[in-house]
Amino acid sequence: MSLTPFELAALELSLRVGIASTLCSLPFGLAAGWLLARCRFPGKTVLDGIIHLPLVLPPVVVGYALLSLFGRNGTLGSWLHALGIEVAFNWKGAALASAVMAFPLLVRAIRLSLEAVDRRLEAAALTLGASRARVFFTISLPLTAPGLLAGAILTFARSIGEFGATITFVSNIPGLTQTLPLAFFSLVQQPGGEAAALRLTALSIAVSLAALLASELLARRLAARLGSPA
Amino acid sequence: MIEVDVGKRLGEFELAAQFTAPATGITALFGRSGAGKTTLVNAVAGLIRPDRGRIAIEGEVLFSAADGIDCRPQRRRLGYVFQDSRLFPHYSVRGNLGYGMPPGAPRDPALSFDTVVELLRLAPLLRRRPHHLSGGEKQRVAIGRALLADPRLLLMDEPLASLDLAHRAEILPFIEELRDRLRIPIVYVSHAMEEVVRLADTLVLMSEGRVAAVGTVEDLTSQLDLRPLTGRFDAGAVIRASVAGNDLVFGLTELAFPGGRLRVPHLGLPLGTPVRARIRARDVALALERPQGLSILNVFAGRVVEVATDQGPMVDVRLDIGKSDRPVALWARVTRRSAYDLRLEVGKSIHALVKSVALDRQSFSPYSRRGTVEE
């Protein structure tokens, strides 16, 4: 069974969007997770609320908000445009929409993981003469790795499945923004598209399973490195 | 000198501790749990910031509220061995040991990687991960890790408390070896008098966030008024002696100390080895006249200097034995009935009987070669 060009384009786009949104949101997720787990500042509850908004808002609302902000005439959009970055109606926009939708899940996973890091180990590293930065990169970050991995998998899975925000923000353009769910949506809208839709379903299951298996393998290797029973 | 004078309020608890101790050998912080020992050590390490006060090691000020000095913990160069070894789980033993090592050769060759590994017998463990180590092994790695960071002072917070008896016995000799082979002063937190007596030179007695007394182990353990803090069960005297003879026929070692000669089961130590012996009050019996036809080998003539007056069936009696210009304190625990029958009172001449077999190996520790022993 070989994939049709239509399916191949959707699959390639989905993977690109998934990987890009995951990799690009990780540093921000780490920063937000750190702020929420380790820092005390006024407005922390508000920040927490804003980060969690995409979880409770209808995805189309998030998509519309992104369109207003990042569209060519939006505040951030025109600013990015000046920098030569275009996100409206291309795969980068799809990645942005996915990243925003998945962000609460990512931050949550990282935050929980950071909170679980034994701070006494950080204190021990300090007494050994390590700078704060060294403690972060050699102790805190490696010990947060399981949370980062879990957050990354969630982000990737959310990106592969993202529909509402994406279609509102970047529309459904074959080859440009038509990821697997959007392609699926197009097919079931057409008469006689059920057979093709079934093939896409199988493809989606395969991608998701592969991602899950990969994360499970990674998690085991991490657990072995961090010394907790797998 | 180790100069500490700090105040810190933590909820209901208030730490207000002040002491100075020589920056040589082992200084023990001794007290019940909750006395503020760990808080005090954390303040010295810079892990908590005192509300007021001053901390200086060998003249270098690490903290001074008055001068606004608060050296960050990573710059204090203090090794810290925690009760829970706190090894980094994602590093091998070798990685843990190397974590705090400054680049370049250590200033003290006794603190090179190879020497420390040899001293603590860590070679077989180097490639292992912390979760594959026993409690005692973890603590040895933690000690090595702290030493390799080239500290000017080693803080040890109850390093044996989380270990069972067998593992304690495994670690203690290593700490003695550190004391005797390295020139790093150690502040050793403990609530176990056996450890303190075996290891420490200077004793800092803590109670309810305050320092109750500072002095040599020999002095403080012989002071009756400190008995509530040093513990009644542990009551006893500590004497410094040296190996004066080995009787191989009967398997005895003879120890010389200013109060005379003490014969004990064979210690297997060479002649002249300085030894610290702990003679528990309950192993000392009293007699008004030098007894005859007795199995007890050690009889010392002395004088009663103090009789504890607390109620109960037992009475602790402090004696001075040896020459009157250089008396040695000894404690005896007798029944109140015996004290009445013998009419024990201050100034009375008495003979102290110390049963050799009561002095087991735990009562002795070879002492450092720093020559602090009186002949």
Per-residue model confidence as pLDDT tens digits over B136-150: 899 999 999 999 998
Per-residue model confidence as pLDDT tens digits over A134-181: 999 999 999 999 889 989 988 998 898 899 999 999 888 888 889 999
Which amino acid makes up residue B110?
A
pLDDT of residue B359: 74
In this prediction, residues B152-159 reach a mean pLDDT of 92
Residue A36: pLDDT band (50, 70, 90) is very high
The answer to which of A116-125, A214-223, B224-233 has the lowest mean pLDDT is B224-233
Per-residue model confidence as pLDDT tens digits over B178-210: 888 888 899 999 988 878 888 888 889 998 888
pLDDT of residue B138: 93
Residue A131: pLDDT band (50, 70, 90) is very high
Residue B90 to residue A142, Cβ atoms within 8 A: yes
Whether the per-residue pLDDT at B370 is higher than 50: the answer is: no
pLDDT of residue B361: 61
In this prediction, residues A4-26 reach a mean pLDDT of 91
Residue B88 to residue A139, Cβ atoms within 8 A: yes
Chain B residues touching A127 at Cβ < 8 A = 45-47, 73-74, 76, 78-80, 100, 146, 149
Optimal mutation site among A117, A122, A128, interface B, most CBs of chain B within 10 A: A128
SS3 (DSSP) at B177? helix
SS3 (DSSP) at B96? helix
Where helices occur in chain A by DSSP H, the ranges are: 5-38, 44-56, 59-70, 75-82, 91-116, 119-127, 132-135, 141-161, 164-170, 180-189, 194-226
Tell me the domain boundaries of chain B: 2-231, 237-366
What residue has token string 């922390």?
Answer: A44
Are B171 and B120 spatial neighbours (Cβ–Cβ below 8 Å)? no
Are B35 and B206 spatial neighbours (Cβ–Cβ below 8 Å)? yes
**Where do the DSSP E strands lie in B174-259?**
186-190, 202-207, 210-216, 236-247, 252-257
pLDDT of residue A101: 94
Whether the per-residue pLDDT at B374 is higher than 70: the answer is: no
User: Whole-angstrom Cα distance, residue B33 to residue B220?
Assistant: 19
Are A11 and A207 spatial neighbours (Cβ–Cβ below 8 Å)? yes
In this prediction, residues B41-61 reach a mean pLDDT of 91
User: Whole-angstrom Cα distance, residue B365 to residue B361?
Assistant: 8
φ, ψ of residue B139 to 5 degrees: the values are -70, -35
In this complex, how many residue pairs, one in chain A and one in chain B, have their CB atoms less than 8 Å apart? Answer: 65
Residue B281: pLDDT band (50, 70, 90) is confident
What residue has token string 């445009």?
Answer: A81
User: Whole-angstrom Cα distance, residue A214 to residue B351?
Assistant: 81
Tell me the domain boundaries of chain A: 5-226
Share of chain B above pLDDT 70, in %: 93
The answer to which of A23-27, B236-240, B257-261, B341-345 has the lowest mean pLDDT is B236-240
User: Whole-angstrom Cα distance, residue A5 to residue B302?
Assistant: 106
Residue B372: pLDDT band (50, 70, 90) is very low
Number of other CB atoms surrounding residue B29 within 10 Å: 32
Retrieve residue B327's tokens.
């008396």
Which H or E run includes B28? strand B26-30
Chain B CB within 8 Å of residue A149 CB: no
Q: Is ipTM beyond 0.85?
A: no
Chain A residues touching B47 at Cβ < 8 A = 123, 126-127
Chain B CB within 8 Å of residue A120 CB: yes
Chain B CB within 8 Å of residue A66 CB: no
Number of other CB atoms surrounding residue B105 within 10 Å: 9
Residue A124 to residue B86, Cβ atoms within 8 A: yes
Chain B residues contacting A via beta carbons under 8 Å:
45-47, 72-80, 82, 84, 86, 88-90, 99-100, 102, 129-131, 145-146, 149
Rg (CA), chain B: 22
Which amino acid makes up residue A211?
A
Alpha-carbon distance A130 to nearest alpha carbon in chain B (angstroms) = 6
Per-residue model confidence as pLDDT tens digits over B335-365: 888 888 888 888 888 899 888 777 766 666 6
Alpha-carbon distance B84 to nearest alpha carbon in chain A (angstroms) = 10
Residue B131 to residue A227, Cβ atoms within 8 A: yes
Q: Which of A118, A129, A227 sits opposite B149 (nearest CB)?
A: A129
pLDDT of residue A229: 42
| pTM (two decimals) | 0.78
Buried b or exposed e, range B12-23, using 16+ CB within 10 angstroms? eeebbbebebeb
Per-residue model confidence as pLDDT tens digits over A42-56: 999 999 999 999 999
Are B79 and A127 spatial neighbours (Cβ–Cβ below 8 Å)? yes
SS3 (DSSP) at B26? strand
Residue A126 to residue B100, Cβ atoms within 8 A: no
Top-level CATH class of A5-226? mainly alpha
Q: Which of A121, A124, A130 sits opposite B80 (nearest CB)?
A: A124
The C-alpha angle with vertex B228 and arms to B223 and B229, in degrees rounded to 5, equals: 80
Per-residue model confidence as pLDDT tens digits over A173-207: 888 889 999 989 988 888 888 888 899 889 889 98
In this chain, the answer to whether the domains covering B2-231 and B237-366 adopt an identical fold is no
Residue of A nearest to B132 (CA): A227
A138, HSE (Cβ side, Cα atoms, 13 Å): 22
Are B15 and B49 spatial neighbours (Cβ–Cβ below 8 Å)? no
Question: What CATH fold (topology level) applies to the domain B2-231?
Answer: Rossmann fold (3.40.50)
Residues B295/B300/B305/B306 CA torsion (nearest 10 deg): -20
Residue B375: pLDDT band (50, 70, 90) is very low
Residue of B nearest to A229 (CA): B131
pLDDT of residue B265: 85
Share of chain A above pLDDT 70, in %: 98
Whether the per-residue pLDDT at A222 is higher than 90: the answer is: no
User: Whole-angstrom Cα distance, residue B189 to residue B312?
Assistant: 31
User: Whole-angstrom Cα distance, residue B355 to residue B203?
Assistant: 27
Where helices occur in B108-192 by DSSP H, the ranges are: 113-119, 135-148, 165-181
Helix axes A141-161, A91-116, angle to 10 degrees: 140
Residue of A nearest to B96 (CA): A125
Which amino acid makes up residue A43?
G
What residue has token string 């789980």?
Answer: B89
- What does each C-alpha distance from B64 to B1, B51, B154 come to in angstroms? 16, 10, 21
Backbone torsion region of residue B102, taken as left when φ is above 0, otherwise alpha when ψ lies between -120 and 50, otherwise beta: beta
Are B58 and B23 spatial neighbours (Cβ–Cβ below 8 Å)? yes
pLDDT of residue B366: 64
Whether the per-residue pLDDT at A127 is higher than 90: the answer is: yes
Whether the per-residue pLDDT at A125 is higher than 70: the answer is: yes
Number of other CB atoms surrounding residue B254 within 10 Å: 17
Whether the per-residue pLDDT at A83 is higher than 60: the answer is: yes
Helix axes A194-226, A5-38, angle to 10 degrees: 40
CATH number of B237-366: 2.40.50.100
Per-residue model confidence as pLDDT tens digits over B31-46: 888 888 999 999 999 9
Chain B CB within 8 Å of residue A5 CB: no
Chain A residues touching B129 at Cβ < 8 A = 227
Chain A residues touching B146 at Cβ < 8 A = 127-128
- What does each C-alpha distance from B128 to A152, A227, B8 come to in angstroms? 30, 11, 40
pLDDT of residue B163: 84
Whether the per-residue pLDDT at B248 is higher than 90: the answer is: no
pLDDT of residue B280: 83
Residue B293: pLDDT band (50, 70, 90) is confident
Residue A125 to residue B99, Cβ atoms within 8 A: yes
Optimal mutation site among B72, B90, B133, B148, interface A, most CBs of chain A within 10 A: B90
Whether the per-residue pLDDT at B260 is higher than 90: the answer is: no
Chain B CB within 8 Å of residue A230 CB: no
